[in-house]
Chains A and B, each alone.
Chain A
Amino acid sequence: MEALLLAWLAPYLGAGLLILMKNRSWKEKSAVAIASILTAALASTLAAWKVIEAGETLRWAVTWVSTLSVDIGVYFDGLSSLMALVVSWLSFLIAVYSYEYMGHEEGQTRYWIFFTFFVGSMMLLVLSDNILTMFIGWEGTGLASYSLIGHWFSDEEEHWVGDPGRRALGKQMWFEPSHSGLRALVFTRLGDVGLLAGIATLHLVTGSTMFKAIADGGWAPTLAQDGVLLFFLWMLFLGAMAKSAQFPFHEWLVTAMTGPTSVSALIHAATMVKAGVYFFLRFAPFLVAAAYVLEHTVPGGAVQIAAFLQWMAIIGGFTAFMLATMALVSRELKLILAFSTASQLGYMFLGAAAGTLVEGGLGGMYIGFSHLASHAIFKATLFLAAGAVIHAVHSRFIDDMGGLWDKMKITAVSFILASLSLAGLPPFMGYWTKDEIIHVSFQGGLLLPAILSWVTAGLTAAYIARAFSRVFFGEKHWRVKEPHEPGPYMWAPYLILGTASLVLGLAWPWIGGPMEEVLRGSMGVKALEVELVSKVSAPLVPAATLLLALTGLLATIYLYVVRGADLYAYVERSGFVRALHGFLYDRWYVNSIYYIVFVDGIRELSILLKKYFDSLIVDNFYHRFIPSAVMATVRFTSGTLEKSWDKLLHEYLVAAFKKAWRAFKSMQTGCLSHYISYMWLGISIVIILLCLIMGCKP
């Protein structure tokens, strides 16, 4: 049992070892990294096999911090076993790919350290039985992502994202690696603050941070009575929304493409960005349980859970649609895939939310996880293949590609297999999993997200068809001598994955059901489910979705491959189309608006505060006003009070004495008659005084 700990410990140990391997060869470092990840993959396979075979959960944990009820260990239930399988094996394949892909790049040690650190953190996140340990893994993935996005931190132009020099609403639309890394960290950390507050709230209410203490939804009535339930849920899920790049947090993922393509494939497509979805799936049955508890305790409480899920569905559907429209016009191969990733994550959010609303916790988990897995496989393929293409033509723009089919057949085949899965065509895996999401959205009566997701299915087919048409077919625009296929360390992983999306799709009717059974063994899934919304039948949806996707795909292929159309010229011809194109190309101006409102706003506030409050008021108050007030008082006391007292004593008094003395002196005339009259005057005064004092009467 303890050996299963290696599922996350091995990559961490690998990272620790790699820190000491600075002067070793690339081969040795890669061997350590790949072996540590393979160990993790084998450990999780062993555990998953046991879980699937025995149908029970495996847990091995020791107390880490007992006052916070924090455990450290591994927890394999249905959901975490399947997720661990996806994460670890994809990590392994992409690590193998990296061996060739990163072999001639700068910062090799750093690359492997953060790569293995990422895998360890991601596995820890997945396998925790404790929400705080999960959060630690969660933050670890964020750190690795930050570092790897900014891997080429000296910001050479070849590693940028966006068109150098392009501005939208005055804001730059090109992003250097160091800038993108900062964006990713700040965006996701904002969400994490919400999550942290949510964890603290759960800990406060339940007295524990263990998932099993949260699973029964017993925290919900307290929070509902305090009037914070809905707000709490938003905050708890804020981290998931940011990590999984849901609107309004999607911007960071787009520019994360400055990282090495292998990193984009692993972190920003297949695994880390799924952490938010995974979190959602983990909580889906808990939310249902909470609704169940609320139904019996707080009137109107269960409705809040349903309302929250409906909001999540709307956000998911909107993200799917919004990002798909951006993918339609992008000129950078990796950017198309990044937009597509965020769009597909929107599908997953929608699937998890709608599935939970309609089918309950297990349903949400099944629908969300299916698409998570299918997307992980096809999107990793697309990115890895794109990495090979970009390497081959030395450009990230699809305008510099075209006609590569002849030169790179393995890459092209893998890419197209994965594209068809993304487009949602049968019998590929993506067909089954996406279809289910759109279907369940209609069944739940979630009209807006359902329609958005349906339209997005068409857009998806169109943008990915555009991508592979312009990369592999049509005229050759590349300027290098001879683009060629990469070596087997690179093509083998994506060929395997591309094939997997076809094979798993073919097998889906047989493996979908058993997978649902495995998921039934996840924490919190109960036989008893509360009905959050009533189900409506939507019989024509699958057929309509397929029709739309096919139309989008075939029309685009026809346009680019058969007709060889030049749409840039078309865009230039009409003012409206140009404006629309600009709107989509500049990402609905969301980025610019963020920079104008938040970045500039905070910068201005900071400068204003510094200038007019900190320096002008506070600093001057203490260091100018108070000292000068003191000085003024000093001047007043020394200048006015002290001086006049001084004068009084040392001038006036002296002068008065002098005068008196002079007067006295002038009396001494030497004339006897004067002296007699003085004596007479004196005696008279004395007598009068005596009479007055004694009271005698003359």
Chain B
Amino acid sequence: MDAPLLWLSILVPLAAALLTLAWKRGSAKALAILNSASLAVSGLLILCSYLSWGIRGLSFDPLYFSIGGIGVFALSMDAVVFLSSFSVAAVTAIIALYSLPYMEHRFSELAEEGVEFPGWRTYYFLYTLFALSMIGTVMSTNMIEFYVFLELTLIPSFLLIAFYGYGDRVRIAILYLIWTHVGALLFLIGALAVGNNVGFNFIDVQKGFLLGLGEKLGAAAALAAGLLVLGLAVKMAVLGLHIWLPYAHAEAPTPISALLSPNLIGIGGVMMYRIVYVLFPDTFAGFSTILYVWALATMIYGGLMALSQTDFKRLLAYSSVSQMGYMLLGLASLSAFGFAGAILHYMVHAFGKALLFAVAGILIANLHGLRDITKMGGLASKMPYTAALALLGFMHITGIPPTVGIWSEYLIVRGAVEKALGMGAAWYMGLVGALLLGIGLSTAYAFLTMKRVFYGPLREHLKEAREAPPSYWAPLIVLAVLGVATFILASPIIDPLVSQITSVMGGA
């Protein structure tokens, strides 16, 4: 890579964030445009560097720092990084615009409650800080570098929940902070165990992926890799470690839910491939059967929980748990297609779930805080655009074309089948049975929610409902279009993804 595009993709939003803080006279609208534009620029820089370099293989930003005892802090780009970082940049750029009408509404609510709260500048400063550090996490090449970026995501998101969230927001913000730190800490212990022996880099600027480096730890490899997996599994909210997610994602201010739910938790999955698999291919393979069963259980469990939720945002939160099951299933399959499916699913879920949370937010903001599904019904006649966006969102997460969801669903199933068939007939039959249940449940809760919210006779108390102003839904159309466009332009995404992952795996 000739130009420091990757550093720029982080520094441009950082500059915008600092400017936001300093710009005392900036109107809310100007701040929204500034921050959204900076993230859009970041997305374009990522796209440029992918199309020019990353599409052909792993490449690095020319600027990197060597820190004694810790290793090299570089930023990398390849298909995996592109899919995750571009998803973050695109979603955050769009949700930054959506935030404008939504937070306007939220601020007036808070003011009515008589709560003291920091205003627009703080909101956008924290928002953009949160966004850029998520971009940084996936580009990292060093575990400490990743950890630093990860910590940087946690603080702003914690503050955003504590300042602007719903319900018992301070308690939930602390709950969120503690949980994510438990995850981060487990990760850190694992990282230190690795780093003190073989260094913290998992990608070397000269040598590329340091495949199997961690295996040099010998007997301690299983422990170190186990801690890394566990730490990232907390982040992903896999079954048993999921219980913080419904609180945090349901009560965060909705634009933040739209970033937390798909973008932040999915990073756990992406890095499980990029750090744990790369450093410990054999140990990870040893874990894979447990992870495989865990993934299927998470998928089914999340779906079952989503079915009985009455709060729209909580339903979406459990849906995210289930979606992380899909992602983990791809990772646990240990096949190039499965890995590719998991990474692609990051993007699918980012687009789809951001749309859905945004739709939930439209209902909250425009229907007097309505979030109880049992009190909804028939809204499609009054809010056709919102309904169409919700349908597209659900199509993403259930894998229905013409959205990109069908590709990730196929890749994940393809990987899962490969692993199951390798393990014998009973596994194969069990897998298909579990998929029938898991995907069946996803379809059921998704379209049951469509029916309960948007179809049926219009409820009496909703007679006055009207379509939200375009400032809410117009930015979301871009997300929906991205989801359809990536379905059609699948080749420049899937082909490099599969072949790059294959070549990484080939070195094992």
Contacts and interface: CB of A to CB of B under 8 A. Distances in A.
Interface of A: 63-68, 132, 135-136, 139-140, 142-143, 146, 150, 153-156, 176-179, 181-182, 185-186, 189-190, 193-194, 196-197, 199-201, 203-204, 226-228, 231, 235, 602-603, 605-607, 609-610, 614, 618-619, 622-623
A65 B448 contact: no
A200 B243 contact: no
A140 B402 contact: yes
Interface in B466-504: 490-491, 494-495, 498-499
A678 B447 CA distance: 99
Nearest to B427: A228
A136 B495 contact: no
Given A142-B400, A153-B380, A228-B429, A190 B498 contact: no
Given A197-B432, A226-B421, 19 more contacts: A65-B490, A67-B499, A135-B406, A139-B399, A153-B378, A153-B381, A154-B458, A178-B456, A185-B443, A189-B439, A194-B436, A200-B414, A204-B418, A231-B429, A231-B432, A602-B304, A602-B307, A619-B243, A622-B244
18 contacts: A135-B410, A139-B406, A154-B380, A181-B447, A186-B440, A186-B447, A189-B398, A189-B439, A196-B410, A204-B418, A204-B421, A226-B421, A228-B428, A602-B307, A609-B301, A609-B304, A610-B308, A618-B240
Nearest to A619: B243
A606 B310 CA distance: 12
B350 interface: no
Contacts of B244: 622
B507 interface: no
Given A189-B439, A197-B435, A606 B410 contact: no
Given A231-B425, A605-B304, A619-B243, A154 B432 contact: no
Nearest to A191: B436
Contacts of B243: 614, 618-619, 622-623
Contact of A67 (B398, B457, B498): B498
B491 A63 contact: yes
A559 B499 CA distance: 71
Nearest to A610: B308
Nearest to A614: B305
B491 A66 contact: yes
B26 interface: no
A65 B494 CA distance: 7
B401 interface: yes
B413 interface: yes
A637 B444 CA distance: 51
B451 interface: yes
Contacts of A143: 395, 400-401
Nearest to A19: B388
A182 B451 contact: yes
Contacts of B425: 226-228, 231
Nearest to B454: A153
A67 B410 CA distance: 13
Contact of A226 (B428, B441, B448, B494): B428
A618 B292 CA distance: 21
Contacts of A603: 307-308
Interface residues of B, dominant DSSP: helix
Contacts of A200: 410, 413-414, 416-418
B414 A153 contact: no
Contacts of B304: 602, 605-606, 609-610
Nearest to B442: A189
A65 B491 contact: yes
Contacts of B455: 150, 153-155, 177-178, 181
B269 to A, nearest CB: 20
Contacts of A176: 456
Nearest to B308: A606
A199 B456 contact: no
A613 to B, nearest CB: 9
B432 A235 contact: yes
Contacts of A619: 243
A67 B494 contact: yes
Nearest to B380: A153
Contacts of B308: 603, 606-607, 609-610
Contacts of A146: 447
Contacts of B429: 228, 231
A438 to B, nearest CB: 34
B175 interface: yes
A235 B439 CA distance: 14
Contacts of A178: 451, 455-456
B413 A140 contact: no
B78 interface: no
B235 to A, nearest CB: 15
Contacts of A226: 421, 424-425, 428
A203 B414 contact: yes
A65 B399 CA distance: 17
A196 B443 contact: no
B41 to A, nearest CB: 29
B339 to A, nearest CB: 12
Nearest to B242: A618
Contact of A196 (B395, B413, B421, B494): B413
B409 interface: yes
Interface string B384-423: 0000000000010011111000110110011011100100
B354 to A, nearest CB: 21
Contacts of A63: 491
A605 B301 CA distance: 10
Contacts of B421: 201, 204, 226, 228
A64 B490 contact: yes
